[in-house]
Amino acid sequence: RSNAEKFEFQAEVSRLMDIIINSLYSNKDIFLRELISNASDALDKIRFLSLTDKEILGEGDNAKLEIQIKLDKENKVLSIRDRGIGMTKEDLIKNLGTIAKSGTSAFVEKMQKSGDLNLIGQFGVGFYSVYLVADYVEVISKHNDDKQYVWESKADGAFAISEDTWNEPLGRGTEIKIHLRDEAGEYLEEFKLKELVKKYSEYINFPINLWASKEVDVEVPADVDETSEEEESSKTSSEEENENEDEDAEKQPKTKTVKKTTYEWEVLNDVKAIWLRNPKDVTDEEYNKFYHTLAKDFSDEKPVAWSHFSAEGDVEFKAVLFVPPKAPHDLYESYYNANKSNLKLYVRRVFISDEFDELLPKFLSFLKGLVDSDSLPLNVSREMLQQHSSLKTIKKKLIRKALDMIRRIADEDPDESTDKDKKEEVSSDNDEKRGQYANFWKEFGKSIKLGIIEDATNRNRLAKLLRFETTKSEGKLTSLDQYISRMKSGQKDIFYITGTNKEQLEKSPFLEQLKKKNYEVIFFTDPVDEYLMQYLMDYEDKKFQNVSKEGLKLGKSAKDKELKESFKDLTKWWKSSLVGENVDDVKISNRLDNTPCVVVTSKFGWSANMERIMQSQTL
Ligand code: ADP
Ligand code: MG
């Protein structure tokens, strides 16, 4: 094309496309749901803008917020069109090629390891999956603020942009023309597309229409040769003959029925807002599917738990929350800076935003879900909405429900039960839930710890969800409640020790007496645990005692005084030669058994482990 401008893909994007093009990944179906999901996002955006600017939608077909799929078998082209926000020339250049998303290299790395493309959408590069089935793609787009442009690429490191002077004007929105590879011919079959939309895109909130063939019965005069429909229709198109035939038919009412193929739009999904339904009427299968669409998580795994509820009173809303089976790759990346909320906010069924920090605290950003409220205004800017007083109430209730849901994961897990008999009881229903809390803890335990640090109001509720190993847990995870139930009579404090790993801690001289006296000690081996324990002072009226710090009380023995007396001179000598910049005091201790002496941290000082963590951070 004469007016085409050429661009090179950003290097990481180019690498990604190479891998996709050459991938042996067998589940090529995924491209369709990625493109439909993009179309749906674009429709969400224009609908949101239309709330404050009615004109923006335009009139007639332009105002129809829908997705259209067309098949052109002859030219092997599959087209997906939306009437969404569209892309300006600059958008096309940036979004489809020159600006790499943060997830691009992470995804390339992951793909090289596992070859698994299924999670491409979660890395923000779903568009490129179209090259699993295409060797040439055209993206035609019209944004209200610009002319119509065509983006095209054969995935050979470059793409071209031209002002569109030859296609039909779109009005507004985007049409993607996928020139299918020879081996991807199945995507020209209507039944295949219907099946895929049903499987992956059923919960898209806009109608997905397929230009579908339909067999219709047509009444024709009995003496017409039925094998040549073409001829027949050309005959009847002549008015004169038509009239003649009608007269014939009246005289001689012999007609017969023949099949004829026509085309019309067929809606493939039935746009159901699952969250508006009564939870009792929604099946597990439906929740699973809804989760996959909502979270763009198309792994084979199901969500671990969900909570579907409605709140009434001053602030009304309905919500569905999910605990995903796995943590996303970047959950704790730039934790305090990035906008990480994964909740979608709807106001009266209209999608508003999925970047609302005000709905959930950061430590719960691993949850996926949706909130739809009737108590928020529709026709205000996002900034105004962000300050609306109802959001505080919504947030508070969401946190409560989220923590209840997480507690339930533990409650339903037979491995979590303290009751031995219940643990052995084999019920198939519970078996599926066996180990689910340990898995949750592996994926999201750190979030719970961050919650304890950040959320003073819910600290105790969150502390209940803590799991750790101890000197007595035999390699298994245990909870504070379980620890307390095993405390020795007379034991006042909850003992813990921090360090890099359990193996090392088990050999620590700090544990000698505690072990000998049969006290249980918690191992905290995660760097975040040091911070955690600065916030978690007590639990159920029990204080936490770091056993490597000053203040450990293991009960007095009659010999204490005697020992103190007989080592008085030695202690004095140690003091005179050591106390200064680095040492505060030298004491006779009853915390040791075999080891002659040990360095203890003062009550308010950093533990040795904390020193280590701080040092590694400043390096
Ligand atoms: P993501 O959807 O996660 O942002 P994609 O690779 O699927 O990543 O899409 C990249 C970007 O291209 C989108 O963020 C959007 O800006 C743009 N885009 C893709 N498809 C469309 C579309 N149908 N209409 C408007 N913009 C689109
Ligand atoms: Mg996408």
SS (H, E, C) 367-403: CEEEEEECCCCCCCCHHHHHCCCHHHHHHHHHHHHHH
Mean pLDDT of 294-315: 91
Strands 67-72 and 208-221: parallel
- Interatomic CA distance for residues 110 and 500, integer angstroms: 28
Percent of the chain with pLDDT over 70: 91
- Interatomic CA distance for residues 30 and 13, integer angstroms: 19
pLDDT tops 90 at residue 138: yes
CB 41 within 8 A of CB 84: yes
The ligand 1 atom nearest the CA atom of 45: 25
- Interatomic CA distance for residues 420 and 429, integer angstroms: 18
Which residue, by CA, sits nearest to atom 12 of ligand 1? 95
| Amino acid 2: pLDDT | 81
Check if 87 has its Cβ closer than 6 Å to any atom of ligand 1: yes
What single letter denotes the amino acid at residue 85? Answer: I
- Interatomic CA distance for residues 446 and 449, integer angstroms: 5
Strands 493-498 and 521-524: parallel
Check if 42 has its Cβ closer than 6 Å to any atom of ligand 1: yes
Please give the mean pLDDT across all residues of the chain. 87
- Interatomic CA distance for residues 258 and 356, integer angstroms: 58
pLDDT tops 50 at residue 237: no
578 vs 482, more confident: 482
Mean pLDDT of 569-598: 80
User: And the tokens for 573?
Assistant: 């000598």
Mean pLDDT of 537-543: 94
pTM: 0.77
- Interatomic CA distance for residues 527 and 351, integer angstroms: 39
What single letter denotes the amino acid at residue 187? Answer: Y
Measured CA distances, 560 to 518, 519, 595 (Å): 20, 20, 17
**Annotated binding-site residue? 77:** no
Ligand with minimal distance to 83 CA: 1
**Annotated binding-site residue? 84:** no
CB 137 within 8 A of CB 181: no
- Per the listing, tokens 């639990």 go with 539
User: And the tokens for 325?
Assistant: 């089976």
CB 348 within 8 A of CB 340: no
576 vs 132, more confident: 132
Check if 34 has its Cβ closer than 6 Å to any atom of ligand 1: yes
Check if 40 has its Cβ closer than 6 Å to any atom of ligand 1: no
Mean pLDDT of 261-272: 89
With a threshold of 0.90, tell me whether the complex ipTM lies above it: yes
Widest pairwise Cα distance in the chain: 134
Ligand with minimal distance to 137 CA: 1
In the structure, ligand 2 is a single-atom ion and the residues with CB under 5 Å from it are 38, 126
- Per the listing, tokens 């999901």 go with 37
Which residue, by CA, sits nearest to atom 20 of ligand 1? 38
Which residue, by CA, sits nearest to atom 21 of ligand 1? 38
pLDDT digits (tens, 9 = 90+) for 401-422: 999 999 999 999 988 876 655 5
Ligand with minimal distance to 94 CA: 1
pLDDT tops 50 at residue 176: yes
Q: DSSP H helical segments within 80-227, as ranges?
A: 89-93, 103-114, 190-200
Check if 103 has its Cβ closer than 6 Å to any atom of ligand 1: no
509-532 b/e (C-beta count within 10 Å ≥ 16 → b): bbbbbbeeeebbbbbbbebbbbbb
Check if 44 has its Cβ closer than 6 Å to any atom of ligand 1: no
User: Residue 610 — very low, low, confident or very high, per pLDDT cuts 50/70/90?
Assistant: confident
Check if 417 has its Cβ closer than 6 Å to any atom of ligand 1: no
Mutate to test the pocket of ligand 1, among 95, 130, 159, 172 (most ligand atoms within 8 A of CB): 95
**Annotated binding-site residue? 557:** no
User: Residue 577 — very low, low, confident or very high, per pLDDT cuts 50/70/90?
Assistant: confident
CA atoms within 13 A on the CB side of 277: 12
Check if 84 has its Cβ closer than 6 Å to any atom of ligand 1: yes
Which residue, by CA, sits nearest to atom 19 of ligand 1? 38
**Annotated binding-site residue? 242:** no
Which residue, by CA, sits nearest to atom 4 of ligand 1? 124
Check if 124 has its Cβ closer than 6 Å to any atom of ligand 1: yes
Measured CA distances, 109 to 96, 97, 103, 531 (Å): 20, 19, 10, 32
Q: How far apart are the first and last CA of the chain?
A: 56
Please name which of 81, 195, 74, 181 lies closest in space to residue 136, comparing C-alpha atoms.
Answer: 181
**Annotated binding-site residue? 144:** no
The ligand 1 atom nearest the CA atom of 34: 7
DSSP 228: -
Check if 95 has its Cβ closer than 6 Å to any atom of ligand 1: yes
Mutate to test the pocket of ligand 1, among 13, 30, 34, 38 (most ligand atoms within 8 A of CB): 38
The ligand 1 atom nearest the CA atom of 125: 6
Strand order in the sheet with 538-539: 469-470, 521-524, 493-498, 542-546, 538-539
Mutate to test the pocket of ligand 1, among 127, 329, 354 (most ligand atoms within 8 A of CB): 127
Check if 38 has its Cβ closer than 6 Å to any atom of ligand 1: yes
| Amino acid 619: pLDDT | 47
**Annotated binding-site residue? 82:** yes
Q: Which of 48-62, 326-340, 528-542, 572-586 is least confident?
A: 326-340
Mutate to test the pocket of ligand 1, among 41, 89, 153 (most ligand atoms within 8 A of CB): 41
Question: At 57, phi and psi to the nearest 5?
Answer: -75, -25
The ligand 1 atom nearest the CA atom of 84: 24
pLDDT digits (tens, 9 = 90+) for 11-48: 999 999 999 999 888 889 999 999 999 999 999 999 99
**Annotated binding-site residue? 510:** no
- Interatomic CA distance for residues 334 and 349, integer angstroms: 32
CB 21 within 8 A of CB 155: yes
Question: At 205, phi and psi to the nearest 5?
Answer: -85, 10
